[in-house]
Amino acid sequence: MFYDNHLSPLSRPAYWNSRDGKRARLKPILIIKSNEVNYKYANLEKVPVLADNFIIFIASKYREAKDVAETTAKELVTKINNIPRLSRKNVVFAIRPPRMTTDKLSEWEEATKELEEVVGKENVLFNPSKEEFSRMLNNRGKEIVVIELTHTEHGIVLKGNERYTSRDVFKGGDLSHIKYLIAGPGTCSLPCLEKGAFAATLREKGVGIMNTSFREVSSETALKRLREIIRILKNVDEYDIPTYYLPDIIDQVIDVPENEKGTTNLGKLDNHKRCIVA
């Protein structure tokens, strides 16, 4: 009833069509602000009527001030409006898929080589070392970062089983040049790392918007997403739309299984019962 009375007038059908025959719905942005931080907000996008009709961003309290809710909402709108258009020059990738069969790994390697041909080998790190990954994050010439990395609850696991944690993020420079960070085609669940501390540190270091998920998808779905990103980059002029639409468009085009859907656009993060909050 709340949706019918208050939200449905905001959700007017709008569609995007590419010249190569792809079609997707462009959902309006729904920004929800609150003075109270509660882990249940992480489940908002699992409410079908919301997930099906809106791209959701959460603006939540993160500093002690009387006008904090207004301030964070306005800041979030500013950041969303300043996410750059995707191009082959302003994006960088870091990929280290989880353990899998040799056949599946070869598929990832094949897709990665194709990606290198599109954006340049220097802009794709496959199985990066800790030093390479840190250098990538601090590359001030890149505004959009896509990571798909092996991880545990205690941080990202890189080449040679070196662990990259929030402490390493703090050691690096300011990250305000990163306007939009997409945490994986899907198997890297950034919000789970260090009980939210890793993502919170990225925010404190200046990352603009993080698009990530509490729900990990299968490596097969993640690979489909990666291939769709490659196809989009090959035809990037056809995607003259705000970059934050791309993850949702990709999922519509490849038809992600219902049980693997669910993306959370992270705002300020706090710990709560082993979960973090967007």
Residue 37, pLDDT > 50, answer no
| pLDDT of 112 higher than 70 | yes
CA–CA–CA angle 226, 227, 229 (5° rounding): 65
Q: Is 258 exposed, middle or buried (0-12, 13-18, 19+ CB in 10 A)?
A: exposed
pLDDT band at residue 271, thresholds of 50, 70 and 90? very low
> In this structure, are residues 71 and 51 in contact, taking their beta carbons and an 8 Å threshold?
no
**What band does 259 get if pLDDT is binned at 50, 70 and 90?**
low
**Least confidently predicted of 5-14, 21-30, 226-235:** 5-14
- Residue ranges and CATH numbers for the domains of the chain are 91-243 (3.40.50)
DSSP string, 4-62: IIIIGGG----EEE-TTS-EEE-PPEEEEEESS--GGGGGGGGSHHHHTT-EEEEEE--
Strands 271-272 and 275-276, by their bridges, are antiparallel
| Average pLDDT for the chain | 80
pTM of the model: 0.82
pLDDT at site 21: 78
Contact 263, 45 (CB under 8 A): yes
Predicted pLDDT of residue 67: 47
Residue with the larger pLDDT of the pair 210 and 65: 210
The answer to whether residue 186 scores a pLDDT higher than 70 is no
Average pLDDT over residues 248-263: 74
Q: Which of 157-161, 162-166, 167-171, 235-239 shows the lowest mean pLDDT across its residues?
A: 235-239
Q: What pLDDT score was predicted for residue 237? A: 85
Two structure tokens written together for 90: 């302003």
**Does residue 268 have a pLDDT over 60?**
no
pLDDT attached to residue 258: 63
pLDDT for 42 beyond 70: no
Position 95 pLDDT exceeds 70: yes
